[in-house]
Amino acid sequence: MSATILIVDDDAEIRELLELLLSGEGYAVRQAESGEAALAMLDSGIDLVILDVMMPGLSGYKTCAYMREVSNVPILFLTARSMDTDLTLGFSAGGDDYLAKPFSNAELLSRVKALLRRYHVYGGKEEVQGDGYLAAHGLRVNRRFNEVFKDGYEISLTELEYQMLRLMLEHRGKIFSAENLYESVWGEPYFSVSANTVMVHIRKLRAKIEDDPQNPQIVKTVWGKGYRVE
């Protein structure tokens, strides 16, 4: 069955162009002209959201944050800006990927296919349970506050450990660089020494959630790139 994509942009011409491109690839497309309209349209039938950042009323970031309260659907941000701070804001709000305008049709389609593949391969629709928990690898993580269970037993994480784990669980399969994690979780500018801070916290997190911290199966290192939860 074809995936359904929700396009959210206040520019009608962009919405029409995206619909033409995506429908030509066999996707079903819905359109929303604002964040408010998108929230009203969001349901379990949506497989991907393409969300403009700069919109009147609710911004793309705020719309994304509200969506994350009820859904784990992948969200691709579209923006005319591509600063690292914008990337961090997007991840902090719950976005999965970020595409700066102008972009090629091939690049957009490649991102769309990758997000949909990751969503379905990693069971995105089942990741957020009805009780508001993220579940994977024997873990149950409360999305609203620091409450984490491993194989049914509650484990104690620091707030920073919890925030890192939740961020990576919400975006399973996505590689987070040390800079992404530091600026998203610590909320401070990244410097070269910050990489050691992230590494130490990753090590402490693994000691609490991994069966064998020396051979981690949950939070994996992608050498030269960062960390991810598969």
Cis link prior to 74 (omega < 30° from 0)?
no
The three-class DSSP label of residue 198 is helix
Model confidence pLDDT, tens digit, residues 32-56: 999 999 999 998 889 999 999 889 8
74 close to 96: Cβ distance less than 8 angstroms: yes
Residue with tokens 């009780």: 131
The three-class DSSP label of residue 99 is strand
Handedness of CA 103, 104, 106, 109 (dihedral sign): positive
Q: What is the DSSP string of 13-64?
A: HHHHHHHHHHHTTT-EEEEESSHHHHHHH--TT--EEEEES--SSS-HHHHH
Local mean pLDDT, 10-residue blocks, the chain (230 residues): 89 94 95 96 92 90 87 84 59 75 86 80 50 84 89 89 90 88 84 88 95 94 91
- Answer whether 0.75 is exceeded by the pTM: no
pLDDT score, position 26: 94
CA 137/CA 219 separation, integer angstroms: 10
Exposure letters 170-203 (e unless 16+ CB within 10 A, then b) = bbbbbebbbbbbbbbbbeeebeeebbebbeebbe
